């Protein structure tokens, strides 16, 4: 296996973020489930079998709640009047009244009012959203990391050599401390063993299978239910206001694409993320793309503006994040000419979700919090600004 030394950052991001205090509970060859056993759901309502949060959110009058609405129309050539957002309607019913909600709505009004000096033509209404911690939760570990750990367990029977070979042997024994002692190469090997070596189609199938069945350890919900209801409303509001929405995530682009359209209404071509290299091959007379154990692009921190420029080719006028990994995306967005909107989701609600910021190993929010305060960016406090957090649970 070819080990590239150039780009370990994403791996470090994923793996060194593991809270060690949690890891030591892993035992008896069950590194994930032992620790991440479902306990009391965060919200007390009985879980239902909701496959997708879309369709559950309550759309305000006058708003289409079809997250796929842009699919219906975006290829047509015929002009059409924009839906008028009046102040009588509430596009964000899960948001408490307050400065955050007010700032969002005022920005949208400002850039969509024709004749206003701040009017922005539709083609330039680009909004970029981080995913982990911004659109869906990221505790107790990044969900893609849960996927990787699950995959090691699933693949272990086909890899008898892993019982003797590090870092897999330690991982399968539940000794994640020993795994981490192997440093970057060990971590890289786990990531590549679970994300590379198959065709892109095979990987898509693997992700679809996992995402439709794996359960969050804390709530027992599907991971796709661990999305933030207020953010789904925000996506719908921006979409209905003429925005084209992109995900710009440090997570793997091919990990997100199989489910993001269904969950967020964001199509594959509007997702930007980290990637590994692929290789074009003819197998049995048919072309395939094979995923290689080599980093291609690291879409976090300074990588986010680069990913935005590469994929979108336009500067966003609005950007949404939750951690220091989003700082450069927010700076890049803020530096454009004309009206801009920068927002940070601050995880302040230990009861309904999690509370963490400057000292968290996952989703650390430190420098970006300072800069947001200094520059007057909108800081959303989940505890104060959101009436509800997830699509499930009490209203």
Chain residues 116-155 in contact with a second copy, contact rule CB under 8 A: 122-123, 125-126
Residues 66-85, one symbol each (x = binds a second copy by CB under 8 A, - = not), give x-xxxxxxxxxxxxx-xx--
Select the span of 99-107, 216-224, 326-334, 340-348 touching a second copy (CB under 8 A): 326-334
Nearer to a second copy, 194 or 275 (CB): 275
Select the span of 20-28, 40-48, 182-190, 285-293 touching a second copy (CB under 8 A): 285-293
Q: CB of 252: closest distance to a second copy in angstroms?
A: 12
Single residue of 275, 322, 360, 378 touching a second copy by CB under 8 A = 275
Q: CB of 88: closest distance to a second copy in angstroms?
A: 19
d(CA 305, CA 66): 29
Q: CB of 29: closest distance to a second copy in angstroms?
A: 36
Half-sphere exposure of 115 (CA within 13 A, CB side): 0
Nearer to a second copy, 102 or 309 (CB): 309
Q: Does 244 bind a second copy (CB under 8 A)?
A: yes
Q: Does 240 bind a second copy (CB under 8 A)?
A: yes
Q: CB of 268: closest distance to a second copy in angstroms?
A: 3
Nearer to a second copy, 139 or 144 (CB): 144
Q: CB of 148: closest distance to a second copy in angstroms?
A: 21
Q: Does 239 bind a second copy (CB under 8 A)?
A: yes
SS3 sequence of the chain: CCCCCCCCHHHHHHHCCCCHHHHCCCECCECCCCCCCCCCCCCCCCCCCCCCCCCCCCCCCCCCCCCCHHHHHCCCCCCCCCCCCCCCCCCCCCECCCHHHHHHHHHHHHHHCCCCCCCCCHHHCEEEECCECCCECCCCCCHHHHHHHHHHHHHHHHCHHHHCCCCHHHHHCCCHHHHHHCHHHHHHHHHHHHHCCCEHHHHHHHHHHHHCCCECCCCCCEHHHCECHHHHHHHHHHHHCCCEEEEEEEEEHHHHHHHHHHHHCCCHHHEEEEEEEEEEEEECCEEEEEEEEEEEECCCCCHHHHHHHHHCCCCCCEEEECCHHHHHHHHHHHCCCCCCEEEEEECECCCCCCECCCCCCCCCCCHHHHHHHHHCCEEEEHHHHECCCCCCCCC
Nearer to a second copy, 170 or 270 (CB): 270
Q: Does 372 bind a second copy (CB under 8 A)?
A: no
Single residue of 24, 154, 335, 350 touching a second copy by CB under 8 A = 335
Chain residues 291-320 in contact with a second copy, contact rule CB under 8 A: 296, 302-303, 305-306, 309-314
Size of the site for a second copy (CB under 8 A): 60
Which residues of the chain form contacts with a second copy (CB under 8 A)? Answer: 64, 66, 68-80, 82-83, 122-123, 125-126, 200, 236, 239-240, 242-244, 253-254, 257, 261, 267-271, 275, 278-280, 282, 286-287, 289, 296, 302-303, 305-306, 309-314, 328, 331-332, 335
């Amino acid at each position: 296996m070819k080990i590239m030394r150039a780009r370990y950052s994403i791996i470090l991001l994923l793996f060194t973020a593991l809270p060690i205090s949690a890891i030591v509970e892993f035992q008896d060859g069950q590194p994930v489930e032992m620790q991440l056993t479902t306990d009391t759901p965060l919200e007390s309502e009985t879980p239902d079998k909701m496959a997708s949060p879309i369709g559950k959110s309550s759309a305000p009058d006058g708003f289409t709640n079809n997250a796929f609405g842009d699919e219906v129309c975006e290829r047509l050539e015929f002009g059409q009047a924009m839906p008028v957002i009046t102040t009588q309607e509430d596009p964000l019913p899960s948001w408490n009244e307050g400065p955050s909600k007010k700032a969002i709505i005022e920005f949208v009004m400002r850039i969509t009012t024709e004749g206003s000096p701040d009017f922005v033509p539709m083609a330039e209404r680009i909004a970029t959203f981080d995913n982990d911690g911004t659109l869906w939760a990221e505790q107790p570990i990044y969900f893609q990391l849960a996927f990787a750990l699950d995959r090691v367990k699933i693949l272990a029977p086909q890899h008898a050599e892993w019982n003797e070979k590090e870092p897999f042997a330690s991982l399968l024994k539940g000794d994640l401390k020993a795994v981490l002692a192997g440093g970057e190469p060990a971590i890289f090997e786990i990531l590549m063993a679970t994300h590379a070596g198959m065709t892109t189609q095979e990987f898509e199938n693997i992700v679809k299978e996992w995402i439709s069945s794996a359960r969050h350890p804390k709530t027992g919900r599907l991971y796709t239910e661990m999305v933030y209801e207020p953010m789904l409303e925000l996506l719908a509001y921006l979409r209905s206001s003429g925005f084209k929405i992109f995900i710009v995530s440090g997570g793997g682009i091919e990990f997100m694409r199989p489910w993001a359209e269904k969950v967020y209404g964001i199509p594959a071509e509007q997702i930007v993320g980290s990637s590994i290299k692929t290789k074009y091959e003819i197998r049995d007379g048919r072309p395939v793309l094979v995923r290689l154990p080599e980093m291609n692009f690291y879409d976090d921190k300074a990588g986010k503006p680069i990913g935005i420029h590469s994929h979108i080719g336009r500067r966003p006028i609005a950007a949404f994040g939750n951690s220091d990994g989003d700082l450069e995306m927010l700076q890049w967005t803020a530096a454009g000419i004309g009206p801009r909107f920068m927002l940070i989701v601050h995880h302040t609600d230990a009861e309904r979700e999690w509370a963490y910021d400057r000292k968290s190993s996952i989703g650390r929010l430190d420098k970006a919090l300072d800069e947001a305060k200094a520059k007057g960016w909108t800081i959303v406090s989940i505890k104060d600004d959101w009436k509800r957090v997830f699509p499930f649970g009490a209203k």
